[in-house]
Amino acid sequence: MEIERDTFWNISSDAQIVFYILAGMSIIAFLYGFYRRYRLWNKGQREKVEWKHVKDNIGYFFQFAIRQTKVQKDRMPGVMHKLVAYGFIVLFIGTVLVFIDEDFKIPILQGGFYLVYELVLDLFGIAFLVGLAGFLLIRGGNFRKRLLRGKMDYLFLILLFVIGVGGYIAEGIRLSETKVDYAHWSPVGYVLSLLFNESRVFKGDTYLFWWLTHSILAFILIAITPFTKLFHLFTAPLNLLLSPVKRSGDFQVESAMKDGTQRRRNVSHIYDFTNLQLLSTDACTECGRCDHVCPANLSGKDLAPRNIVMKIRDNMQENGPISSFISAEELKQCTSCGACVEACPVSINHIDLILSMRRGALPDKLLNPHAGEAMVNLEQDENIWGAPWSEREDWAKGLNIPVLRDTENPRKEA
C-alpha cells in the first residue's frame, strides 16, 4: 500500500470549491484586519526601527517567546501556555505543509516522512487540547484572580478546543473507513477509528459534515484573529523583536525618528505615541501579570497597568485626547517602580507609555501651579519667593530657626 496523504478523501469537487472560496475569504479578512491595525500604528509618530535593537532582541525573543521564561514563573498556567503555544505552532506548520503538498503539488507528505508527520501532529494536537482544557479549568475555577473572565475569553478557548477535536473526529472517520495499515502512526485518530467502527454518527456518509464544520470553524478563527486579542499571536513576537527592550529604571525621554530627528516623547493625543508604542499595546495578551505586581493597583488605587495598555489599544481608531479615556489620577499614581515591565511576558513598557502621557497630557495637572512658579523662581533668582537672592532668608525672620552656618558644629546640629 502506498503511503501518502489523501487530503480530500471522500470530498466532492463541489465541496472542494466551497472550501477554497471560504479559505480565500478568511485569508482576505485576516490580511485586511492586519493591514487595518498596521495603518493605525503608522498614524503614530514614525519611530525608526533600529536594527541593533532587533539584533539584541533576538536573545529576548528566544528567552520570552520560545522558552517562555516569564510565563513559566506562574507554574500551572505557564505549563498550559507552553502546551497550547507549542501545539499551535506545530499544527500551523503541519497545515502549511499540507498546503504545499496539495496546492503546489510538491509531494512532501509521503512515505516515512508522512508517518512521522502524522505521529508528531497527533501528539502535539493532544498537547494543544490538554493546554486548552487546563486554561478553561484555571479560568472557570477562578484559580488565577488576575485573569479576565468575560464571555469572549471563554469563547476563544472553546473555539480552539472544538477545532482541535473536530480535526481528530475527521481523522478518526477517515482511518476507520480507509483501514490503511499505517493508521497506528496517528495514535489518537487510530483509537477513534476503532471506536467509530460501529458508529452511525461518525462514518463515511457524515464525513463531509464533520470535515466542513472543522474547516469552517478554522476559517472563522483565521478571519477574526486580527480583530480580537488572539492577534497577540502575531503582534507579541513582532513587539519582542522590534521594540527596544528597556530595563526598569531606563526612562527614555526621546525617540530616534524615521526622518533622522530626535523627538521628545510627549503624548497628549493618541497619535502622539510612536508607531512602536502603539504596536506594543496590540501585543497585550490581557494576562494581568502587570496588575498582579503593581503596588498602586494592589493598594486599591485606580491605576491598573493592564487597563492603561488596553485603553490605548482600544482607542487607537481616532486621534482622541488621552484625557478622554485615561484619568489624571491613574497617571499620577504610577511610582515608576518597573514591576509591571519586569512581569510582562511580551515586553510592553508600561512606564514608557505612562511617562509619555504624563509629560504630554498632564504637565499642568501634575504640579500645583504655585509649585511650578516656585521652581522657575528658584532657577532664576535662587529664591522660591521671586524676591532678590539677598532676601531669600527673610521668610525665617522672627521664627527662631537655627541656621547651620552660625553653629560651631553644623553636622551635629543637623
Applying CB under 6 A, the span of 14-22, 255-263, 338-346, 367-375 interacting with ligand SF4 comes to 338-346
- What is the closest distance, in whole angstroms, from the C-beta atom of residue 275 to ligand SF4 in the complex? 18
Residue 157 touches ligand SF4, criterion: CB under 6 A: no
Binding ligand SF4 (rule: CB under 6 A), the pick from 265, 311, 350, 358 is 350
What is the C-alpha radius of gyration for the chain, rounded to an integer number of angstroms?
A: 29
Shorter beta-carbon distance to ligand SF4: residue 300 or 398: 300
Residue 228 touches ligand SF4, criterion: CB under 6 A: no
Shorter beta-carbon distance to ligand SF4: residue 121 or 351: 351
Binding ligand SF4 (rule: CB under 6 A), the pick from 50, 286, 302, 373 is 286
- What is the closest distance, in whole angstroms, from the C-beta atom of residue 289 to ligand SF4 in the complex? 4
Binding ligand SF4 (rule: CB under 6 A), the pick from 71, 305, 312, 331 is 305
Binding ligand SF4 (rule: CB under 6 A), the pick from 94, 131, 166, 338 is 338
Residue 229 touches ligand SF4, criterion: CB under 6 A: no
Ramachandran angles phi, psi of 126, nearest 5°? -65, -45
What are the b/e assignments for 198-228, b being 16+ CB within 10 Å? eeeebeeeebeebbbebbbbbbebbbbbbee
- Chain-centroid distance of CA 328 in Å reads 26
Residue 50 touches ligand SF4, criterion: CB under 6 A: no
Cβ proximity of 103 and 141 under 8 Å: no
Residue 295 touches ligand SF4, criterion: CB under 6 A: yes
Applying CB under 6 A, the span of 20-28, 207-215, 287-295, 396-404 interacting with ligand SF4 comes to 287-295
- How distant, in Å, are the alpha carbons of 37, 154, 241, 315, 407 from that of 281? 11, 22, 14, 11, 57
> For residues 290 and 348, what is the distance between their CA atoms, to the nearest angstrom?
10
What grid cell was written down for 336? 515608576
What grid cell was written down for 89? 505552532
Q: Is 49 exposed, middle or buried (0-12, 13-18, 19+ CB in 10 A)?
A: middle
> For residues 252 and 341, what is the distance between their CA atoms, to the nearest angstrom?
14
Site for ligand SF4 in 13-32 (CB under 6 A): none
User: If you ran DSSP here, which 8-state letter would residue 45 be given?
Assistant: B
> For residues 228 and 157, what is the distance between their CA atoms, to the nearest angstrom?
13
- What is the closest distance, in whole angstroms, from the C-beta atom of residue 277 to ligand SF4 in the complex? 13
Residue 296 touches ligand SF4, criterion: CB under 6 A: yes
Residue 346 touches ligand SF4, criterion: CB under 6 A: yes
- What is the closest distance, in whole angstroms, from the C-beta atom of residue 350 to ligand SF4 in the complex? 5
What grid cell was written down for 377? 523662581
Applying CB under 6 A, the span of 8-16, 159-167, 315-323, 334-342 interacting with ligand SF4 comes to 334-342
Q: Which of 62, 90, 76, 47 is CA-nearest to residue 264?
A: 47
Binding ligand SF4 (rule: CB under 6 A), the pick from 287, 312, 316, 361 is 287
Residue 78 touches ligand SF4, criterion: CB under 6 A: no
Residue 70 touches ligand SF4, criterion: CB under 6 A: no
Contact set with ligand SF4 (CB under 6 A): 284-290, 293-296, 303, 305-306, 309, 334-340, 343-344, 346, 348, 350-351
